[in-house]
Amino acid sequence: MRLHKLKAGESTGTYMVESPVTETDILKMAQQLAAQRLSRGRQLSEPKQVFIHLQTLLADYEHEVFALLLLDSRHRVIAFRELFRGTLDGASVYPREVVKLALEYNAAAVILVHNHPSGDPDPSQADRLLTGKLKEALSLVGVRTLNHIVVGSEGCVSLAELGHL
């Protein structure tokens, strides 16, 4: 990304960009902001805001990505990590690796996240089965699975809200 020269705006704390900003620049900045909003120590209090950040990060991939939002006992973010990359319509997810990452970060809870490159965030039967397997594997080591969020360009769907957790 190019560096843009900034100058002070008319209101306190605002800035104006002196050079042209492209659509690509704006999308990169939005992704950086979304990643910052899911950074260490952030409290997750508004699910809809979390959905927006996840959608900004994952909706434009042309392949499936499975990620974990790792949380402490007070549901503050420890880290957001992409764990598996797949193809246009699937990604292999290994419970052993999910548990290993949760333990590595000493997470008390996780939110499972993956995208649907088709744009349609409706969870498949395979998504629901995977959620159950991962929840069971994580619970064996004392890590709670709070949600599984499916991200698409059309929005996000929470498996917890659908009663599949």
The residue with greater pLDDT, 5 or 91, is 91
Q: pLDDT band for 38, please (50, 70, 90 cuts).
A: low
The residue with greater pLDDT, 12 or 109, is 109
Distances (CA, A) of 41 to 19, 38, 67, 79, 154: 34, 9, 18, 9, 29
Q: How far apart are CA 63 and CA 85, in angstroms?
A: 7
pLDDT at 148: 95
Structural domains in the chain, CATH included, are: 1-37 (no CATH), 44-158 (3.40.140.10)
**pLDDT at residue 39 above 60?**
no
Structure confidence by residue, pLDDT tens digits, 41-80: 566 666 677 788 788 788 778 899 999 999 999 888 899 9
Structure confidence by residue, pLDDT tens digits, 17-32: 666 666 666 556 555 6
